[in-house]
């Protein structure tokens, strides 16, 4: 197997944390988005859609979505089950990961990519260039704030995003909550339940990855 990572981006961080929490050791190639390596000919052979993470499996398949990577490693890898064990848990974990992507990840990405002058012409990831839409930056900040409010509600009275153990849903949510700091949307004491969960997540060794 080979894992294609980028130490500065949230999506590969999700896969990196998942791999670490599983206790897996996978040979890794670093792709620098800052240097534009995701758009280079070598990496386009791995993923023509020019995004990281990517996982080349021993079955000869290349997976380029977090959900696919996590699903595969959950099946083939040892280590703790991170994607649920009962049908209801499995479904709920996927549900909350999808909510974190659409309400959190997309909101922060919209704000960052449409507002940062260094991302001019790169408002969306991928091989095509798209212009920034300043209104989306403003909307993204608002949506990211709403994401944290929603999480405060979800985490009130519960230790983990789903059920009674750490899962893929916590990883996805954590990465996007942490990513929101880049647009100055932060967890603070006005959201006590989220704050407790976030502090606990930060204490895990994988959070430093």
Ligand X SMILES: N[C@@H](CCC(=O)N[C@@H](CS)C(=O)NCC(=O)O)C(=O)O
Tell me which of 17, 19, 33, 162 binds ligand X, using CB under 6 A.
33
- Which lies closer to ligand X via its Cβ, residue 100 or residue 141? 100
Using an 8 Å Cβ cutoff, are 131 and 121 in contact? Answer: yes
N- to C-terminal Cα distance for the chain?
A: 20
Count of CB atoms within 10 A of residue 194's CB?
22
Question: To the nearest whole angstrom, how small is the minimum distance from the Cβ of residue 190 to ligand X?
Answer: 28
SS3 for 115-184 is: HCHHHCCECCCCCCCECCCHHHHHHHHHHHHHHHHHHHHHHCCCCCCCCCCCCHHHHHHHHHHHHHHHHC
Using CB under 6 A as the binding rule, whether residue 38 contacts ligand X is answered as yes
Q: How far apart are CA 119 and CA 111, in angstroms?
A: 11
Q: Is position 125 an interface residue for ligand X (rule: CB under 6 A)?
A: yes
Residues numbered 46-75 forming contacts with ligand X, rule: CB under 6 A:
50-53, 65-66
114 interacts with ligand X by CB under 6 A: no
- Contact at 8 Å (CB) between 70 and 83? yes
**Residue of 3, 4, 5, 9 that binds ligand X (CB under 6 A):** 9
Q: Is residue 95 a contact partner of residue 167, using CB atoms and an 8 Å limit?
A: no
Complex with ligand X: residue 71 or 195, whichever CB lies closer: 71
Tell me the per-residue interface mask from 143 to 182 with ligand X, x by CB under 6 A, - otherwise: ----------------------------------------
* In the complex, minimum distance from the CB of residue 47 to ligand X, in angstroms, rounded to a whole number: 8
**Which residues would be at the binding site for ligand X (CB under 6 A)?**
9-11, 33, 38, 50-53, 65-66, 122, 125
């Amino acid at each position: 197997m080979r894992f294609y990572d980028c130490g500065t981006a949230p999506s590969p961080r999700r896969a990196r944390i998942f791999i670490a929490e599983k206790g897996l050791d996978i040979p890794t190639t670093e792709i620098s988005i800052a240097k534009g390596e995701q758009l280079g000919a070598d990496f386009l052979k791995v993923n023509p859609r020019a995004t990281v993470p990517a996982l080349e499996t021993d079955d000869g398949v290349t997976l380029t979505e977090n959900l696919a990577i996590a699903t595969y490693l959950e099946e083939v890898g040892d280590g703790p089950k991170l994607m649920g064990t009962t049908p209801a848990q499995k479904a709920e974990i996927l549900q909350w990961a999808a909510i974190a992507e659409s309400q959190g990840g997309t909101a922060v990405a919209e704000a960052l990519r449409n507002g940062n002058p260094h991302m001019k012409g790169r408002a969306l990831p991928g091989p095509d260039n798209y212009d920034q839409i300043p209104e989306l930056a403003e909307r993204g900040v608002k949506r990211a704030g709403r994401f944290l409010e929603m999480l405060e509600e979800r985490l009130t009275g519960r230790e983990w995003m789903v059920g009674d153990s750490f899962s893929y849903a916590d990883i996805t949510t954590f990465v996007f909550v942490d990513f929101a700091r880049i647009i100055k949307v932060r967890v603070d004491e006005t959201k006590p339940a989220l704050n407790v969960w976030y502090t606990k997540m930060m204490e895990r060794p994988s959070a430093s990855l």
